Structure 1
Amino acid sequence: MTSFAAPESIAAHARRFYAEAGVPVPARPAATVLLLRPDASGRDGFEVYMIRRAASMTFGGMYAFPGGSVDPGDSEIRLDWSGSGPADWGNRLGQPPGPAQALVCAAAREVFEEAGVLLAGPDHDKVVGDVSGDEWERARQALVNRRTGFADLLRDCRLTLRSDLLLPWSRWVTPEFEPRRFDTYFFVALLPAGQRPRDVSGEADHTMWIRPAEALARFEAGEIAMLPPTVITLTEIADCADLAGVPAAAAVRDAGTPVMPRFAQAEDGSGHFLL
């Protein structure tokens, strides 16, 4: 069993929840994406893109990966789709085809909204290049403000959703004592050539590319804050020696069984997450 020390603010909330016999709120389906690229310094290995959630956001101050909740439109859209179909995705994610499609669409939509990276192309074999220009930014803003839908954006740009660029990795559920809870599916994607993440969402106050092992070392040193799902996911992805090993590792993972940290209080009164 793995144990993580809980920040006192979270531990205090958990104590109140259990003392008052609180009722868990339903967990909203969500998706998050680990964007990976070769190490920019030329060393062997790879880096992952991380954001620090702004203080005004849920889990503010914590480093995480781009992502967010599934929107109703994610399950209703009809679009050109490359890669495994919703039924196959459902088998990997432990969901019916409709909800599985919604999770994949949410992953692609959120990484475009939050990081300006578009996992789409003009056909089933290509990926769009640089999407940082003014016209693309207007399209992204329209998507963020819900003036247009993700399917409409792709259709207007004559693009195909490249679901084959996403690899399912894991599934985490927010502990039952949290007032806002998410049932989050973690995906991995290699940064498309010619694209670069941009801090454009307004939901982060810092972004960085960092090697997974270095992020974990900074966490252990108390330099950066992360919640257990982020720490565990970085630990798992760090076991891959290079980017070539990531698809093979993802292929054998159970990405549909949920993991939910439990809260426990030690004899000294400190709170801990147990896995």
Structure 2
Amino acid sequence: MTSFAAPESIAAHARRFYAEGETPAPPRPAATVLLLRPDPSRRSGFEVYMIRRAVGMTFGGMYAFPGGSVDPGDSEIRLDWSGPDSAGWGDRLGLAAEAAQAVVCAAAREIFEEAGVLLAGPHPEAVVGDVSGEEWERARQALVNRRTGFADLLRDCRLTLRSDLLLAWSRWITPEVEPRRFDTYFFVALLPAGQRPRDVSGEADHTTWIRPADALARTEAGEISMLPPTMITLAEIAACPDLAAVPAAAAGRNPAEPILPRIELAGDLATARIHLD
């Protein structure tokens, strides 16, 4: 059993939840993506792209990975698709085919909305290059403001969604004491050549590329804050010696099995106990 001291906001939720005998809120399906790239300052190793959630957002002030909730349109869209079909993704994620498609589409949509990275190409073996120009930014803004849908954007640009570029890693469910809960699937993806994440999300107030081990060291030193799912995932990915080892590591994992942290109160403090079975 691994334990973490809970942030005060979570401790407060736990005290209120247990005192008032509340019923857990249903978790909303969500997806998040660890974007990885070779470490440009070294001959080996890699970095991960992280954002700091803006104050006022859910889990504000915490460092995390780009991602967000599944939208209703993510399960309804029909588009050109490369990689495992929805049934194949369903087998991998432990979901019905339609729900699996929604999670995968949410992962691809969210990293385009939040980081300006597009996992799509003109045919199943290609990926678009730089998508930071004005025309692409107008398309991204239209997606963020829901003036267009993700499938419509890809269809208008004659692009195929590269679901094969996403590697399923894990699944975390927000503790029952939280008023807003998420059932989040974590994915890993290598940054496509020619693309670069951009600080375009109004949900973040800082972004950075950082080596996973360095991020963990800064967290331990109290310089930055992360929730347990982020820390655990960084430790897991840091165990890969290089990017070439990541696909094999992902293939050996079971992303369908949920990890549900439990919050236990001890006096006026709350301790989050994370079970990693």
Residues 82 and 162, structure 2, Cα contact 8 Å, conserved in 1: yes
The residue correspondences of 1:90-129 to structure 2 (distance < 5 A) are 90-129=90-129
The residue correspondences of 1:168-207 to structure 2 (distance < 5 A) are 168-207=168-207
Give the drift of 1:265.
2.3
Counterparts of 2:258 and 2:86 in 1: how far apart (Å)? 19
Give the drift of 1:8.
1.9
Give aligned pairs, total: 274
Counterparts of 1:7 and 1:143 in 2: how far apart (Å)? 33
**Hey, what does 1:229 align to over in structure 2?**
229
Counterparts of 1:213 and 1:258 in 2: how far apart (Å)? 25
Over aligned residues, Cα RMSD in angstroms? Answer: 0.8
Task: State the one-letter code of the partner of 1:118.
Answer: L
**Hey, what does 1:64 align to over in structure 2?**
64
Is the partner of 2:74 in helix, strand or coil?
A: helix
Indicate whether 1:272 and 2:275 are aligned. no
Is the partner of 1:250 in helix, strand or coil?
A: helix
Q: Deviations over 1:110-153 (max 9, x none)?
A: 00000000000000111000000000000000000000000000
Gaps of 5+ in 2: none
**Hey, what does 2:211 align to over in structure 1?**
211
Is the partner of 2:141 in helix, strand or coil?
A: helix
Counterparts of 1:264 and 1:13 in 2: how far apart (Å)? 11
Residues 14 and 265, structure 2, Cα contact 8 Å, conserved in 1: no
Task: State the one-letter code of the partner of 2:269.
Answer: S
Give the drift of 1:9.
2.5
Task: State the one-letter code of the partner of 1:265.
Answer: L
Counterparts of 1:193 and 1:49 in 2: how far apart (Å)? 15
The residue correspondences of 1:219-258 to structure 2 (distance < 5 A) are 219-258=219-258
Is the partner of 2:103 in helix, strand or coil?
A: helix
Is the partner of 2:33 in helix, strand or coil?
A: strand
**Hey, what does 1:11 align to over in structure 2?**
11
Give the drift of 1:16.
1.2
Following TM superposition, the consecutive aligned residue runs of length 4 or more in structure 1 with deviations greater than 2 angstroms are none
Task: State the one-letter code of the partner of 1:173.
Answer: I
Give the drift of 1:43.
3.7
Is the partner of 1:103 in helix, strand or coil?
A: helix
Counterparts of 1:238 and 1:127 in 2: how far apart (Å)? 26
Give the drift of 1:241.
0.3
Is the partner of 1:56 in helix, strand or coil?
A: coil
The residue correspondences of 1:71-86 to structure 2 (distance < 5 A) are 71-86=71-86
Indicate whether 1:145 and 2:149 are aligned. no
Residues 116 and 196, structure 2, Cα contact 8 Å, conserved in 1: yes
Q: Deviations over 1:227-256 (max 9, x none)?
A: 010000001000000000000000010001
Counterparts of 2:8 and 2:162 in 1: how far apart (Å)? 42
Gaps of 5+ in 1: none
Is the partner of 2:138 in helix, strand or coil?
A: helix
Give the drift of 1:106.
0.3
Counterparts of 1:98 and 1:52 in 2: how far apart (Å)? 31
**Hey, what does 1:133 align to over in structure 2?**
133
Counterparts of 1:222 and 1:137 in 2: how far apart (Å)? 36
Is the partner of 2:243 in helix, strand or coil?
A: coil
Residues 13 and 179, structure 2, Cα contact 8 Å, conserved in 1: no
Counterparts of 1:172 and 1:110 in 2: how far apart (Å)? 17
Relative to the length of structure 2, the TM-score reads 0.98
Counterparts of 2:9 and 2:79 in 1: how far apart (Å)? 43
Task: State the one-letter code of the partner of 2:272.
Answer: F
